[in-house]
Amino acid sequence: MNKILITRCFAKAADSYEEEATVQRRIALKMTSLLETYIRPGCCRKILEIGCGTGLFSRMLADSLKPERMLLNDICPEMHERLKGLLSDYVHFESGDAETYPFSGKYDLAASCSVVQWLKDIDAFFSRIYPLLTADGIFAFSTFGCDNIKEVTSLTGKGLSYFSREELCDKLSGRYDVLYASEEKVFKRFKSPIEVLYHLKRTGVTGIDQQKWTKTNLIRFCDDYKTLYGNGKEVTLTYHPIYVIAKKKDHK
């Protein structure tokens, strides 16, 4: 996991992310709807969002839950510019790697949307979030499962290591009560494999590895992609989102 490369790729994609990230928007909308179900109105005064990016999910959280204070965090300092319309005396942005950043205070909700898969040590991260939550605080996140962008991974041999829904729930079980966990498959269609690569670049996902394409490799990739994942007119890219809502256990 090259955090420097990840940061650089997401920073470069900041201008195009919200237009291109239609699946991530759908995921953020579902996460917001789930939180409206599990959090009573007026009970979420302080929110910590990990990996806020351009503020796609942040704005939904603010509009839906109407917290008194929000701390938005992202590894890319460049995201500060994208959040200017949201930031105020009550909504703050702090840049830093969430796996090491010295967060302070207590939050009624710690939330993260389409970010957890980029962490190096998910067990340690789950442990870090626990003391930041108030009693009965909620930890809610979406991430991706093993079939995520499987078409590209199968052809390039490069991709992230994903946990299953069951594995995530097991990792949480020592410190949290899992209130909700589900997964789904979302299929996005493109006219060509080149458009798939362009889409991934515009959403910043190319931070997995510095793929160096030669003309020969690119032609082979496109031919194989169309053969394995196309229908003669278009090709498919699979997204595999997982949604988790967990509540902090009382260990007194």
Residues 40-59 have pLDDT tens digits of 877 899 999 999 999 999 99
Q: How far apart are CA 2 and CA 202, in angstroms?
A: 19
Residues 107-130 have pLDDT tens digits of 999 999 999 999 999 999 999 999
More confident residue, 30 or 42: 30
Contact residues for 125 (Cβ-Cβ < 8 A; gap 6+): 98, 99, 116, 119
pTM of the model: 0.93
Residue 252 has pLDDT above 60, yes or no: no
Residues 68-88 have pLDDT tens digits of 999 999 999 999 998 988 999
Contact residues for 235 (Cβ-Cβ < 8 A; gap 6+): 151, 189, 190, 191, 192, 193, 196, 225, 226, 229
Q: What is the pLDDT of residue 6?
A: 81
